Amino acid sequence: MKRLLVLATAIVTFGAGCMSNPLIKVEAPVQPEAPAETMSPPETPTVAEPQQDMPSPPETTQPITKPVANPPSPPVTQPVVKPPEQIVGKVFVTITDTGFSPQVVAISAGDTVVWTNKGTSNHTVASNGALIYDSGNIPAGTSWSRTFSAPGSYGYHCGAHPSEGGTVVVR
Please say whether the beta carbons of 116 and 94 come within 8 A: yes
Under DSSP, is residue 115 helix (H, G, I), strand (E, B) or coil? strand
pLDDT digits (tens, 9 = 90+) for 27-52: 555 555 554 454 455 555 555 555 55
pLDDT digits (tens, 9 = 90+) for 79-96: 554 454 556 899 999 999
Q: What is the pLDDT of residue 140?
A: 97
Structural domain includes residue 160 = yes
Share of the chain above pLDDT 90, in %: 46
Domain with 110, as residue range(s), is 86-170
Whether residue 91 sits in one domain with residue 165: yes
Confidence band of 130 (pLDDT split at 50, 70, 90): confident
Q: Residue 91 belongs to a domain with what CATH number?
A: 2.60.40.420
Which of these ranges, 20-29, 96-105, 149-158, has the smallest mean pLDDT?
20-29
The amino acid present at 148, given as its one-letter code, is F
Whether residue 94 sits in one domain with residue 19: no
From start to end of the chain, where are the E strands?
Answer: 86-87, 90-96, 99-101, 104-107, 112-117, 126-127, 143-147, 152-157, 165-170
Structural domain includes residue 42 = no
Q: What's the whole-number mean pLDDT along residues 155-170? A: 96
Structural domain includes residue 77 = no
Structural domain includes residue 52 = no
Whether residue 158 sits in one domain with residue 93: yes
pTM above 0.75, yes or no: no
Structural domain includes residue 8 = yes
Confidence band of 171 (pLDDT split at 50, 70, 90): very high
Structural domain includes residue 76 = no
Structural domain includes residue 105 = yes
Structural domain includes residue 63 = no
Whether residue 99 sits in one domain with residue 23: no
Number of domains in the chain: 2
Cα angle 102-108-112, degrees, rounded to a multiple of 5: 65
pLDDT above 60: residue 162? yes
